[in-house]
Amino acid sequence: MDPIALTSINSTRGRKPYSLFLAGLFLGAALVLGAWFYSTYHGLNAHLAGVWKGQAEIAGTEVELSLTLQKEGSSFSGLLVAIPGGEGTFNHLEVDREGDISFTMTVSNETVTFNGKVVSDAHTMAGKMTTTSYGNGTWSLAKQS
């Protein structure tokens, strides 16, 4: 056989294991990332229930916050106490795999929408808030042990 024929036969054989290796590598990476997203999402949800304390600042005033979250199946309900301000409940809280969190409630006839981020260790969360009368503000909470 001439050398050109041997080279083309060897290069064809060489591609197959390399292709299988790459396919296996991509499949493995997809499985690892999928498992990480799943565990992160469920890990955050598992640790959100409980008492969170912190502050909000709105219209130049600092307000102490206490948020109690209760997990009911796959959803959360909760009670927010703002001092001064009042208290309110909510029945719908959303948190996604990246830790983005949002919920809306009524406190002393004021509708307040909270949007923020839960840190991956699920011990702190913070973000921005919007009220119907007082404008925009910021908030931060830490999980109590």
| Complete DSSP assignment for 52-112 | EEEEEEETTEEEEEEEEEEEETTEEEEEEEEETTEEEEES-EEE-TT-EEEEEEEETTEEE
Render pLDDT for 108-130 as a digit per residue (tens, 0 to 9).
778 889 999 998 677 899 999 99
**What is the average per-residue pLDDT within 91-115?**
84
Domain 1-145 class, CATH top level: mainly beta
Q: What are the pLDDT digits (tens) for 17-50?
A: 545 544 444 444 444 434 333 434 445 566 788 9
What's this model's pTM, rounded to 2 decimal places?
0.67
Res 71: pLDDT:
83
What's the pLDDT score for residue 98?
82
Amino acid at 101: I
What b-and-e string marks burial along 57-96, b requiring 16 or more CB atoms within 10 Å of the CB? Answer: ebeeeebebbbbbebeeeebebebebeebeebebeebebe
